[in-house]
């Protein structure tokens, strides 16, 4: 059954007009007909089964038939602090982090950051990455869409109130069991291609981040969140 994110209030036994995006994808691209069903979710929790009841040239409406409260989120919440990278690598990191159940993604800049968003381009790029997160939720079945937060300098982010368990991916450090006393509320910091500088790692350590060395190989910036979140899913799922 097709599955779409929709920015609209949903309630059982009501009729809802499809947004332009959902109309285009479901009716125009997939050529849906009256009577066909789909799953809609709006990021507020759970999902709804709907049936197409009316199609016109530029719009369509559905009946909301039933509600499933399952969000398919992990038993833990993760705020991912990801230093930005160029090209498709950032898209890939966001897409896979969402599929693995990340709760929120904070875009960061650092000493070795490859990109700096500027003024009018900022929101366009953030909107694009938010779209990547939505598409990942549509694909993987998660019903709470992680928010992509506007970029902050690493030092500024470290000065904010962060979750209880704080982990920074730091290759070439001692390998210890960082999850032994982990809480379900996690901040995960991942550096850029080339890694965080020693001074940045030390700064994160000063505010409570624990160095997390995953094996003896250096991971790419877009691979690191996949590996880290996979380990968290395996170890912290109740």
Domain ranges in the chain are 3-68, 77-236
Distance CA 168, CA 201 (A): 8
Confidence class of residue 74 from pLDDT cuts 50, 70 and 90? Answer: very high
Mean pLDDT throughout 53-75? 95
pLDDT tier for residue 215 given thresholds of 50, 70 and 90: confident
Least confident of 16-25, 53-62, 113-122: 113-122
Which has the minimum average pLDDT: 32-36, 85-89, 111-115, 152-156? 111-115
* Chain length of the chain: 238
What architecture is domain 77-236? 3-Layer(aba) Sandwich (3.40)
The distance in angstroms from the start CA to the end CA of the chain is 29
Domain 3-68 shares a fold with domain 77-236: no
| Domain 3-68 CATH superfamily | Hypothetical PUA domain-like; domain 1 (2.40.240.20)
* Angle (deg, nearest 10), helices 224-236 and 88-99: 10
Question: Is 162's pLDDT higher than 80?
Answer: yes
Euclidean distance between CA atoms 170 and 191, whole angstroms: 9
* pLDDT value at 120 more than 80: no
Which residue in 232, 216, 234, 218 sits closest to 79, CA to CA?
232
22: pLDDT strictly greater than 60: yes
Query: Looking at residue 238, what is its pLDDT?
Result: 56
Report the phi/psi class of residue 215: left, alpha or beta, with left for phi > 0 and alpha for psi in -120 to 50.
left
């Amino acid at each position: 059954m097709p599955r779409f994110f929709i920015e609209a209030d949903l309630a059982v036994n009501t009729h809802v007009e499809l947004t332009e995006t959902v109309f285009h994808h479901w009716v125009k691209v997939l050529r849906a007909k009256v009577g066909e069903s789909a799953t809609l979710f709006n990021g507020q929790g759970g999902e709804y089964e709907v049936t197409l009841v009316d199609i016109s040239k530029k719009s369509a409406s559905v009946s909301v038939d039933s509600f499933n409260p399952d969000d398919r989120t992990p038993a833990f919440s993760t705020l991912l602090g990801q230093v930005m990278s160029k090209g498709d690598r950032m898209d890939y990191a966001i897409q896979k982090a969402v599929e693995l159940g990340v709760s929120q993604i904070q875009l960061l800049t650092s000493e070795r950051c490859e990109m700096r968003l500027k003024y009018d381009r900022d929101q366009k790029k953030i909107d694009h990455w938010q779209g990547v997160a939505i598409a990942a939720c549509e694909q993987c079945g998660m019903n709470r869409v992680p928010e992509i937060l506007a970029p902050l300098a690493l030092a500024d982010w470290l000065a904010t109130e962060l979750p209880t368990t704080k982990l920074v991916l730091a290759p070439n450090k001692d390998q210890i069991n960082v999850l032994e006393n982990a809480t379900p509320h996690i901040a995960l910091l991942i550096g850029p291609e080339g890694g965080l500088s020693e001074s940045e790692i030390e700064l994160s350590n000063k505010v409570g981040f624990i160095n997390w060395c995953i094996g003896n190989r250096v991971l790419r910036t877009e691979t690191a969140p996949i590996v880290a979140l996979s380990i968290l899913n395996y170890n912290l799922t109740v």
